[in-house]
């Protein structure tokens, strides 16, 4: 007598989602939307966002990461406080 295979669950419950980073489903959809809008892969979109934020926070670079040779670097000045 042949054993009967269990039914295959619907795709939404077929597998647990495996991610190498923590994000909600909503955040993943946001990333997918941004990546599609810019024509990037999700990985390229994350890299682009990290680079943009890095240069915003550290416009002159760090001890390890230096600006490119022809980059325009603003001189470091006092940090402006945000209004309360």
Is pTM beyond 0.85? Reply is: no
Would you state the pLDDT for residue 42? 93
Could you tell me the residue range of the domain that residue 30 belongs to?
23-64
Give ∠ CA 34-35-38 in degrees, rounded to 5: 85
pLDDT tens over the chain, length 84 residues: 566 776 666 666 556 667 677 889 999 999 999 999 999 999 999 999 999 999 999 988 999 999 888 888 776 666 666 666
Does 28 reside within a domain? Answer: yes
- The reply to whether 60 falls in a domain is yes
Contact 40, 47 (CB under 8 A): no
Does a structural domain hold residue 33?
yes
- Residue 9 counted as domain residue: no
Instruction: Please state, in angstroms and rounded to a whole number, the distance separating the CA atoms of residues 81 and 24.
Output: 32
Number of domains in the chain: 1
Residue 84 falls within a domain, yes or no?
A: no
Q: Is 43 contained in some domain?
A: yes
């Amino acid at each position: 007598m042949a054993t009967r295979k269990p039914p295959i669950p619907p795709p939404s419950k077929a597998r647990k989602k495996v991610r190498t980073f923590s994000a909600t489903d909503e955040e993943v959809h946001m990333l997918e939307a941004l990546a599609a809008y810019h024509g990037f892969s999700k990985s390229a979109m994350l890299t682009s966002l990290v680079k943009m934020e890095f240069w915003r926070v550290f416009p002159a670079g760090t001890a390890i990461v230096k600006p490119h040779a022809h980059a325009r670097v603003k001189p470091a000045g006092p940090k402006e406080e945000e209004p309360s």
